[in-house]
Amino acid sequence: MTPSPNRARATRLFVGGLLGWHGGLALAAIVGILLSGGIGLVSALIGAALAVLYYAIGQAVQIQYADASPRTIRTASLASYVVRVSLLGTLLYASIVWPAVMAAVDVRGLFAGIVLGVVGWLTGVVIAFRKLRVPTFDEADPVRYDPPRPGC
């Protein structure tokens, strides 16, 4: 069965985000190694994994409810947000209750992994969004050729 156009667009954004995240992951790994060697690498990978989990859950909800009514999409998105923030809050709580957990990771590497994972994901989504054809705003015309504009 062919997915609906809305679901196909949401899936393309998801794939774009994952591709961008992989670029951010590679940079996070390099930065982690430069900051603290092996423990910095592991910390950066943990941070990047947190970023991709956060965004992937949200994007998966958008894909699942792509054809639903606006109210259903809003409700699902807000519920997804509450779940994702609660999971992050649980991780924060665990790091406060068990300080040995945070002592085992390099905080600079963790921060670099989170930031570079988020920047990579968002960059991938923006690039994928630029290439989407949304019928409401831009009629798809396979025969039309738009030559590149100078300076763009």
Query: Tell me, what's the pLDDT at 139?
Result: 59
Residue with token string 């949200």: 58
Compute, in degrees rounded to 10, the torsion defined by CA atoms 64, 89, 36, 32.
20
Query: Tell me, what's the pLDDT at 76?
Result: 95
Whether the pLDDT of residue 1 is over 80: the answer is no
3-state secondary structure of 141: coil
Integer Cα distance of 146 and 138 in angstroms: 13
Name which of 25-29, 64-68, 96-100, 137-141 the model is least confident about: 137-141
pLDDT tens digits, one per residue of 28-70: 999 999 999 999 999 999 999 999 999 999 999 999 998 888 8
Tell me the HSE value of 13 on the side-chain side, using a 13 A CA sphere. Answer: 22
Integer Cα distance of 83 and 89 in angstroms: 10
